[in-house]
A and B are shown apart, each in its own frame.
Chain A
Amino acid sequence: MGLAGFITALAASALSLVISFIPVQFTNILLSLFLVFLSIMCRVIPTRTSLKACLAACAVLTFIFRFSYMTLIGKLLYAVLMIAVVVGAVLMHMGTNQYIVKGGEKE
Chain B
Amino acid sequence: MITIFGILSIALPLLALVLQCVFAGFSILCIPSIAAAIFAAVAFWKKGPVLSAVTFFLSFIQICTLNIQLTAILGLLSTIAAVFLMLECERFQEAHPELIDPKAATKHMIIGFIMPCVIALLVMYAYPVIRTFFMSFFNMPNISAPISQWEFVGLGKYMKIFQSQAFIRSLQNMLMIWVIGGIITLAFALLFAVILTSGIRGKKFFRAAIYMPNVISAVALATMWIQYIFNQQYGMLNSLIKFFNGTPINWLATDMKFWAMLASFIFGAVGYYMLIFISGIEKIPADLYEAATIDGASKAQQAFKITFPLLKGVTKTNLTFWTINTATFYLWSKMFSPVDTEASVIVPVMYLYDTAFPSKGSQQADAGAAAAVGIVLAIIILAVYLIMNKLIKDDDIEL
A and B assemble together: yes
Question: A residues touching B (Cβ–Cβ < 8 Å)?
Answer: 26-27, 30-31, 33-34, 37-38, 41, 45, 48, 50-51, 54, 57-58, 61, 65-66
The answer to whether B73 has its CB under 8 Å from any CB of chain A is yes
Q: Considering the complex, which residues of chain B in the window 45-100 have a beta carbon less than 8 Å from any beta carbon of chain A? A: 49, 53, 56-57, 60-61, 63-64, 69, 72-73, 75-76, 79-80, 83, 86-87, 90
Q: Is A33 in contact with B76, judged by CB distance below 8 angstroms?
A: yes
Q: Is B63 in contact with A54, judged by CB distance below 8 angstroms?
A: no
Bound together, the chains give a CA A58 to CA B83 distance in angstroms of 12
Bound together, the chains give a CA A31 to CA B86 distance in angstroms of 19
Known A51-B83, A54-B56; judge A34-B76 contact (CB<8 A). Answer: yes
Q: Which residues of A contact B83 (CB under 8 A)?
A: 37-38, 41, 51, 54
26 inter-chain pairs at a CB distance below 8 angstroms, sorted by A residue, are A26-B72, A27-B63, A27-B64, A27-B72, A30-B63, A30-B72, A30-B73, A30-B75, A30-B76, A31-B63, A33-B76, A34-B79, A37-B80, A37-B83, A38-B83, A45-B87, A48-B87, A50-B49, A50-B87, A50-B90, A51-B83, A51-B87, A54-B83, A54-B86, A58-B60, A61-B61
Bound together, the chains give a CA A79 to CA B83 distance in angstroms of 24
Known A27-B64, A34-B63; judge A50-B75 contact (CB<8 A). Answer: no
Question: B residues touching A (Cβ–Cβ < 8 Å)?
Answer: 49, 53, 56-57, 60-61, 63-64, 69, 72-73, 75-76, 79-80, 83, 86-87, 90
> Which of A26, A34, A54, A66 contacts B53 (CB under 8 A)?
A54
- Taking the closest CB of chain A, its distance from the CB of B71, in whole angstroms, is 11
How many contacting A-B pairs (Cβ < 8 A)? Answer: 44
Known A31-B63, A33-B76; judge A26-B69 contact (CB<8 A). Answer: yes
Q: Which residues of B contact A48 (CB under 8 A)?
A: 87, 90
Q: Which residues of B contact A41 (CB under 8 A)?
A: 83
Bound together, the chains give a CA A54 to CA B53 distance in angstroms of 8
Q: Which residues of A contact B80 (CB under 8 A)?
A: 34, 37
- The SS class assigned to the B binding surface is helix
Bound together, the chains give a CA A33 to CA B76 distance in angstroms of 9
Beta-carbon nearest neighbor of B79 in chain A? A34
Bound together, the chains give a CA A3 to CA B24 distance in angstroms of 44
Bound together, the chains give a CA A7 to CA B79 distance in angstroms of 23
Q: Is A31 in contact with B64, judged by CB distance below 8 angstroms?
A: yes
- Taking the closest CB of chain A, its distance from the CB of B66, in whole angstroms, is 9
Beta-carbon nearest neighbor of B64 in chain A? A65
Interface core residue of A45, A48, A50, A51 (most chain B CB under 10 Å): A50
Bound together, the chains give a CA A45 to CA B91 distance in angstroms of 12
Q: Is A34 in contact with B60, judged by CB distance below 8 angstroms?
A: yes
Bound together, the chains give a CA A49 to CA B263 distance in angstroms of 62
Q: Is B60 in contact with A61, judged by CB distance below 8 angstroms?
A: yes
Bound together, the chains give a CA A56 to CA B96 distance in angstroms of 29
Q: Which residues of A contact B90 (CB under 8 A)?
A: 48, 50
- Taking the closest CB of chain A, its distance from the CB of B218, in whole angstroms, is 30
Q: Which residues of B contact A37 (CB under 8 A)?
A: 80, 83
- Taking the closest CB of chain A, its distance from the CB of B78, in whole angstroms, is 11
Q: Is B57 in contact with A57, judged by CB distance below 8 angstroms?
A: yes
Bound together, the chains give a CA A57 to CA B56 distance in angstroms of 11
- Taking the closest CB of chain A, its distance from the CB of B319, in whole angstroms, is 41
- Taking the closest CB of chain B, its distance from the CB of A55, in whole angstroms, is 10
7 closest A-B pairs by beta carbon, nearest first, are A65-B64, A30-B76, A30-B63, A30-B72, A27-B64, A26-B69, A31-B63
- Taking the closest CB of chain B, its distance from the CB of A99, in whole angstroms, is 18
Q: Which residues of B contact A31 (CB under 8 A)?
A: 63-64
Bound together, the chains give a CA A50 to CA B164 distance in angstroms of 60
Q: Is B79 in contact with A66, judged by CB distance below 8 angstroms?
A: no
Q: Which residues of B contact A66 (CB under 8 A)?
A: 64
Beta-carbon nearest neighbor of A57 in chain B? B57
> Which of B60, B76, B79, B86 contacts A50 (CB under 8 A)?
B86
Bound together, the chains give a CA A77 to CA B63 distance in angstroms of 21
Q: Which residues of A contact B75 (CB under 8 A)?
A: 30
Bound together, the chains give a CA A94 to CA B201 distance in angstroms of 60
Q: Is B53 in contact with A50, judged by CB distance below 8 angstroms?
A: yes
